[in-house]
Structure 1
């Protein structure tokens, strides 16, 4: 008997793209079932992340027409990462493997075949990795690749050019459930699970319809969330910078004492003013970084639920 596959798709205001997404995913699931690769109990699970448009009514309609479509309706908008986790945790007890992907059809649906093959070959986690960024503008390519390099440099280890298109086995999903943090950054958490992992390269396409949910401002916020959730390197950099400035101040103090002993005057106040502004800026930056970590601790200690589910549509 073949294993059950759930394709988990977080949705936020996706009424424009959902009809086409559902059609393509059903075709893919039908082809895999017909080939005997996956079980007839496999499903497509849409997660409504508090959408303000007709996304949830569309999901209800799809489920009513065909039980292959399942749905999870969150009580309110909780963000992409929480919505994705809600879908994966819902699928955990129903499937043998789950593939997460975005609703905008930028993730190549045909890569699902290779992911499933890797799963049967023994991989618990299969990452969908972009083969190239030739279609991106220079600015998009520069900022996106810089995002991954900066993340890894600052200690938030991620898979280069991988977003949230991945396959996870039931065992990997059970491992993911053990991570209880409120501040979610799944691109960094999933590699921590371990187990056997593989990659599948694919060509990322253009968004089929609607607007991007990750403009530059949100991507920068997402990067900050990932770094401060997974690494303490920024605080260590502050410590190192403080030590370096202390050494420089000692050297400058010795220099001024020597000049004073030799009867030499210190020229101007420009250097003093620059130093005051530089140190003041560094202090404020340091307080901001430390405050970010304290804020994370504050949220974690409250242990608020990461998501609340209003309704689940699923015919097993």
Structure 2
């Protein structure tokens, strides 16, 4: 069991152009946090930390107003737009608390589940995953693609929590462990399960976005899936080797067929076999191999630069974690 009986928690929310939903999010989270304080589950020093990921609208101005009006609100302004995973990582690394709960600013994560997360943390869990119990609010296309995403990652040997995004509680120790992962190609949903600490799951129904636009359209979801796949597994490279052998034997068989047709059958068009078979079989495989290998080479190139994962321009009401 955790020794902290009255933990200081921090709700960490990456924000990118969330001016429409931010006031409502702030009110709802402040109300929920106060309820937890009144019930004695968390310390009155707990905070709500908004991480502005280089927004182009008035998101940061709203965060400044919230911070000035109530000390429960804090803000971290990144120097530019780094992306959701990096903004979330920055919020976790820059915030001091006994436990940190990451969630989206669009209110689709059920904030009522926070109480269950804290209760599990106080019972000894270092990581508590928020897992969707259904996908009824998603379109049929998104349900199928999500299922395909988790299935593919599992087949590639990547440890993930199905139907879990980034709604989770992490203890201070878990966040410190996470800080030792300095890889530039961040995929937190794959890294956190690798920490090896005691974990738990709580289930919730994801709501609909009340205002603003989704920051994860299909293109970005596909990019995130590719990031997770190529950052945690070399299986795609091995698949290329297997495909190479398969294509070799197919080409060998077609070559035998062309020879048999020439010797014992009506024959084939002169030059057809030697031209068409290599072009269509080997050409496609080579393009595939170059593309997949290039993805890994590109990631190696990015990692070798050693650039900072994020840079903080301004802090409001939050102390940097050691």
Q: What SS class does the counterpart of residue 213 from structure 1 fall into?
A: coil
In structure 2, the partner of 1:174 is 176
CA contact (8 A) 1:155 1:232 kept: no
Q: Please state if 1:312 is matched with 2:310.
A: no
Q: What SS class does the counterpart of residue 129 from structure 1 fall into?
A: strand
- Structure 1 distance, partners of 2:257, 2:143, is 47
- Structure 1 distance, partners of 2:318, 2:15, is 20
CA contact (8 A) 1:46 1:72 kept: yes
Q: What SS class does the counterpart of residue 101 from structure 2 fall into?
A: strand
In structure 2, the partner of 1:136 is 138
In structure 2, the partner of 1:283 is 286
How many residues are matched?
Answer: 313
Q: Please state if 1:295 is matched with 2:298.
A: yes
- Structure 1 distance, partners of 2:208, 2:14, is 18
- Per-residue Cα deviation, 1:244-297 (whole angstroms, up to 9, x for no partner): 22223333444444555x444543438953652232122111101100100000
- Per-residue Cα deviation, 1:166-188 (whole angstroms, up to 9, x for no partner): 00011110110011100000011
Q: Please state if 1:267 is matched with 2:268.
A: yes
1:26 to 27, 30, 33: 30
CA contact (8 A) 1:67 1:315 kept: no
Q: Which runs of 5+ in 1 are unaligned?
A: none
Q: Please state if 1:49 is matched with 2:53.
A: yes
Q: What SS class does the counterpart of residue 11 from structure 2 fall into?
A: strand
Q: Which moved more, 1:141-150 or 1:20-29?
A: 141-150
- Structure 1 distance, partners of 2:134, 2:158, is 22
1:100 to 78, 83, 102: 102
The structural deviation recorded for 1:145 is 1.9
Alignment of 1:174-193 (within 5 A): 174-193=176-195
Q: Please state if 1:71 is matched with 2:75.
A: yes
- Structure 2 distance, partners of 1:315, 1:293, is 37
Q: What SS class does the counterpart of residue 99 from structure 1 fall into?
A: strand
Q: Which runs of 5+ in 2 are unaligned?
A: none
- What is the CA RMSD across the aligned residues, in angstroms? 1.7
Q: Which moved more, 1:128-137 or 1:22-31?
A: 128-137
